[in-house]
Amino acid sequence: MGRIKIKTFDENGIRSSKRKELLVTLLLLVLTGGAAAGEHTNFFGIKLVDIPSGSFEMGSCMVTEGMQKENRKRVFLGLPVVGLGCGILDKNVNDNETPQRTVKVPAFKIANTPVTAAQYKKYLNAIGEVENKDDWGLYTEEFKRLNSFDDNAPVVQVSWHEAQDFIRWLNENKPKNDPYTYRMPSEAEWEYACRAGGKQRYCGSDNVFDIGWVNREGTENQREVASKAPNAWGVYGMSGSIWQWVEDVYHDNYVGAPTDGSAWNALSMDDDEILLREIEMVSQSARKGKMKKVEAALTIERLRYDAGIKDRRGVQLKSETLAARVLRGGSWRFSENFARATYRLAGEPGNWYYGNGFRVAASIPVEIKN
């Protein structure tokens, strides 16, 4: 039987052909044994897909440095070594993706694409930011420049706090007949939706170029959402494209992480103490004449802001918002290694990096589940 040639890209190399996309999706459904998820478009034009409840192995299976140290000690003492406690050993992964564990995830909904520039600009207009000329506003010249490529591309330069503000606005302005509570996905929900019942290296494929944009393709900016194939549950752009905020506080590994699909919001360190120590070091430099007082004051303000203590309007935030949060998915600016299904990155909640965006999730009310 002869090979069937399938056109992968159009003449600009931007959009996968619909035929290729359909075939890849059908293949993923066969491989994972999954069924295409249902869809619901909310009042703001965000399309959410149903993610069924289930269990999966979250994280990577690897021999960590700590495990190697423990086993060397056990061999010396004549004790049995510690086993992996997981399946097939993964290569080229990071300690923060371990230990691999079984997580049970309740049914929920997740947006089939990240929030787009058009959707975010519509929100900014609704809250009056488009007309705001304040340098500390959200609709800055830099924001406009970084989001000028395509209104249907993912919005970028959005901090974790700003993404939460968007979601809060959705909940406050949704119609009365909208039964869903909008939120960020937990990290476990994100990886579960990414894998879609499979065990591919990336979110829906072992070939990242089928499902996401990474820097080996010569991409200089974010590309239109849904311009590559979705995974088996109809979710686009989970690998590559943009970094995506999730709800969880960042921890160096999964030791003690929840196994019920919920967000891990316990602080991993005393962030207040760390910040105060950094501020004291700057103050000492100023007192000793190593730094000008004006420079010290600006540095302290930047430390406080970067830690998330104040939002862009200078409003005091709760101390727990100091903690670094988790980013997932990789980006068009990074190599395919960062787009792996298990790759995790820490980001300060006030970080406005131009590759950071987000997608919306929603809790399903009990009456709908039943």
Residue-wise DSSP of 155-212: P-S--HHHHHHHHHHHHHHS-TT--PEEEPPPHHHHHHHHHTT---SSSS-S-HHHH-
What type of residue sits at position 65?
Answer: E
Report CA Rg, the chain.
Answer: 22
35 phi-psi bin (left φ>0, alpha ψ -120 to 50, beta other): beta
Q: Which pair of tokens denotes residue 135?
A: 């340098």
Whole-number pLDDT of residue 297: 81
Tokens 């619909």 sit on residue: 18
Q: Cα–Cα distance between 143 and 138 in angstroms, integer?
A: 7
Q: Cα–Cα distance between 115 and 46 in angstroms, integer?
A: 8
Task: Answer whether 156's CB lies under 8 Å from 355's CB.
Answer: yes
Nearest to 241 by CA among 366, 152, 133: 152
Q: Which pair of tokens denotes residue 184?
A: 């960020």
Q: Which pair of tokens denotes residue 249?
A: 């506080």
Burial bucket for residue 10 (CB in 10 Å: 0-12, 13-18, 19+): exposed
Tokens 């050993």 sit on residue: 89
What lies within 8 Å, CB to CB, of 328 at 6+ separation is 187, 190, 191, 194, 238, 243, 244, 246, 343, 344, 345
Q: Where are the alpha helices (DSSP H) in the chain?
A: 18-32, 65-77, 117-126, 141-146, 160-173, 187-195, 208-211, 271-287, 293-306, 366-369
Whole-number pLDDT of residue 305: 60
**Low-confidence residues of the chain: pLDDT under 50:** 1-22, 24-36, 269, 309-320
Interval 241-280: pLDDT, tens = 999 999 999 988 888 899 999 999 876 545 556 667 778 8
Q: Cα–Cα distance between 197 and 192 in angstroms, integer?
A: 7
- Residues β-bridged to residue 102: 57
Q: Tell me, rounded to whole angstroms, the distance of Cα 212 from its chain centroid.
A: 14
Whole-number pLDDT of residue 278: 78
List of long-range contacts for 9-14, beta carbons under 8 Å, 24+ apart: 13/217, 14/223, 14/224, 14/227
